[in-house]
A and B are shown apart, each in its own frame.
Chain A
Amino acid sequence: MHTLDQTEISNRVLAVLEKRFGDAARALTADADLSDTLPGFDSLAALEYVNSVEGEFGIEVDFVGDDVRHWFSTLGRTTEYVRERVEDMTA
């Protein structure tokens, strides 16, 4: 299985956000809070975001056990979460 590096994961997560939020997502920094930075990033958008990331990387998020509001609050944290999940799957 192809191992994903941090940059590739980050680019693919950013592409997910760009698809939904367009220009507003393009300028995102790794530690910017998504709900503060992206207009309309409400609970519904957050759910779509998590689902899209799941589909993009073929992973499944535990919505209660994984503290999604922490891991999916910034681009950097999402990238870290995905990296660990992908590593778990390949281990």
Chain B
Amino acid sequence: MTYDTLLRSSGVVSGESDLWCTYAAVRTLGWLGRVGDLPSPETAAGFLASRQNSDGGFAWSAGMSSDAWATYYCTQTLADLPTSSRGTVRASSSAWVWSAAHPDGGFAMTPGQASDVWATYYAVRTLVEIFGEQPPPALFDWLAALQAEDGGLAWSPAHAKGGASDVRACYYAVTAWHTATGGEGPLPWDRERLTSWLRGRQSAAGGFTFQEGDETDCLWATFRATGALSRLDETPRDPEGCVAWIRARLGPTGSFTRWPGYPVPDVWAAFCGVGALRELGAELDDLADGVVETVLSFRTPQGGFTYRTPGLASDVLTTSAHLMAGRLSETGEREALRWTESCMLPNENGIMYMPGRGSEVRCTLWALSAGAFEEDAPARARIAGWLTDGIQNPDGGFGYWEGRASDIVSTAAAAEILHRIGGDSVAGHLRDIAEYVASCETAPGQYANVPGGRSTLRATLQALRARHRAVGADGALAGEALARHRVRGGGYANEGNRVPDLLSTYEAVLAADTFGLDWDSGHLAKFLDSVRTADAGFAWTPLMATSGGPLADCLGRRLELRLSPERHTLPPLALS
């Protein structure tokens, strides 16, 4: 695959700061001893503070539920910023992190969800490094169960039984152990087999891949592998070759690119390149100026960072939203689709949120719904294979990305993709999806986003849609859910039946269409009037006067098109 499309980036730019990019940028500056170069760090702190919820945890974007991922990245980045710049952040506590502790000794990404090693790593680092607390003793038994037969470590004990080792899982598990013990406690794994498996991921060229069978070395895998080995007091099979491979990723601007042939330096490459060289004890002084200058050029007016020069930092969700809202010219559509189709990692066949990041299920659904790969059957088959052979969890569900525990949003997105492109070979996988969906049922016909969560309209309708795609579902249950959450004046509410919102209303109409249920166009029109904004956009709720951004505008526009005489079909999207 060539990545020339990414050079000029013909997708659509949101212009917003991204949480992970902000963490990676500040951490990179910190490793280089250059946080002092960051102009107005208080604006970065302000951006991070805007992600904090009233429960004390942090969320990926405003209005979403807290999760371990966002809580670690926000609290750690704030800790990396100068003390005097953190004034806008409310006092936090470890209570939210403990709310996601699982009885099996691991941690979940959100309370009630199954444990996975991503979440466990984030929770342990937050507890120990930010709050000075210790994780539960049962953590070590949970970590021990991650070792697969090949010696590597997997995302969860259930994944380990299936033999799915991954360099990232190794890094997260080893670092969780190292953080909890200071590297002094007994190692919960067979050291020799683990070290051997990790070293086996280094290619003759010097870089690393994530998993056995991957073909392209990348900086992300190289950083995680060198980090895991370093915490085990071990080194790569060929340390000098590794350093040389990493330094060969330096581009003309003086910063790093992700893998051979990838044309654009970005924040993740800088983070992984500097991080890996640091783990290897290699020289950094000669490259610091170029990396710092490049990273600082990724700042946005919001105060945080995006992944590359903000004017070119397109993302798949925003681009897909523009495509589905019909906001691009014919030429623009073609270029945007081509850009979207280039957003794949070399060793993963799903579509990423941003280029160079891991493939994500929801983004893949949005991109396909917008028209990506419509006339490329082999690419669609690769995507179906990525879902069924690569990232479906042992419980039958899907998480946002590989190794992340299952949730209904991602599982419904996967079911829609498989329904659309999967063919006959995915029937067994769809039945497994139905099993996961059943584990999220809280009362007959009512579902939560994760097992043990609270039931909501959106989770219920997504679960019923996923079941419908998998094994068939009773439309009457959808009808009952719609009746429970119908707001008298217009629209549908996610909880109760008083405060309608755009996302729940979209999901409600989509479910009604899916199950062939009648709905009232006047009721929908009144709701749309209440969220339409002066600039022809749409707010997420009637409470706000301004557009909720491209995603809200897309959903509102698609509902308008559904109401039009042509009755355009709603794309089967899942967002949150």
B-binding residues in A (CB < 8 A): 35, 39-40, 42-44, 46-47, 50, 62-65, 67-70, 72-73
Contact = CB atoms under 8 A, between A and B. Distances in A.
B63 interface: yes
Nearest to A51: B499
A44 B63 contact: yes
Contacts of A69: 539, 542-545
Given A47-B499, A47-B541, A69-B543, A40 B50 contact: yes
B490 interface: yes
Contacts of B546: 35
B88 A67 contact: no
A43 B540 contact: yes
B16 to A, nearest CB: 14
A43 B113 CA distance: 27
Given A65-B526, A69-B542, 13 more contacts: A35-B545, A42-B62, A43-B543, A46-B543, A50-B543, A63-B530, A63-B542, A64-B487, A64-B527, A65-B489, A65-B490, A67-B530, A69-B544
Interface residues of B, number: 23
A72 B541 CA distance: 13
Contacts of B88: 39
B489 A64 contact: yes
Nearest to B493: A63
A68 B543 CA distance: 6
B227 interface: no
Given A39-B88, A42-B63, A44-B63, A64 B544 contact: no
A40 B488 CA distance: 29
Given A64-B490, A64-B527, A73 B545 contact: yes
A47 B498 CA distance: 11
Contacts of B399: none
B498 A63 contact: yes
Contacts of B544: 35, 42-43, 46, 69
Given A64-B526, A64-B527, A69-B539, A44 B490 contact: no
B111 interface: no
B485 to A, nearest CB: 13
Nearest to B499: A63
A23 to B, nearest CB: 13
A35 B545 CA distance: 9
A43 B63 contact: yes
B491 A64 contact: yes
Contacts of B488: 62
Contacts of B527: 64
Contacts of B489: 62-65
A54 B43 CA distance: 35
A43 B549 CA distance: 13
Contacts of A42: 50, 62-63, 544
A64 B543 contact: no
Contacts of B63: 42-44
A41 B397 CA distance: 36
Nearest to B533: A69
Contacts of B530: 63-64, 67
Interface hub of A63, A67, A70 (most chain B Cβ within 10 A): A63
A47 to B, nearest CB: 6
Interface in B334-362: none
Interface in B513-566: 526-527, 530, 539-546
A46 B541 CA distance: 10
B36 to A, nearest CB: 26
Q: Which 8 residue pairs of A and B lie closest in terms of their CB atoms, listed nearest first?
A: A64-B489, A46-B543, A64-B490, A65-B489, A69-B545, A64-B530, A43-B544, A62-B489
A68 B527 CA distance: 12
B500 interface: yes
Contacts of A73: 545
Contacts of B487: 63-64
Interface hub of A42, A50, A70, A73 (most chain B Cβ within 10 A): A42
Contacts of A65: 489-490, 526
Given A39-B88, A43-B540, A64 B545 contact: no
B342 to A, nearest CB: 34
B554 to A, nearest CB: 18
A28 B351 CA distance: 47
Contacts of B498: 63
B172 to A, nearest CB: 31
Interface hub of B88, B500, B544 (most chain A Cβ within 10 A): B544
Interface hub of B490, B498, B541, B543 (most chain A Cβ within 10 A): B543
Contacts of A44: 62-63
B525 to A, nearest CB: 11
7 contacts: A43-B543, A47-B499, A50-B543, A64-B527, A65-B489, A65-B490, A69-B545
Contacts of B540: 43
Contacts of B499: 47, 63
Contacts of B491: 64
Interface hub of A42, A43, A67 (most chain B Cβ within 10 A): A43
Contacts of B50: 40, 42
A19 B539 CA distance: 26
Contacts of A64: 487, 489-491, 500, 526-527, 530, 542
A39 B546 CA distance: 16
A30 B487 CA distance: 31
A47 B526 contact: no
B500 A47 contact: no
A50 B542 CA distance: 12
B504 to A, nearest CB: 12
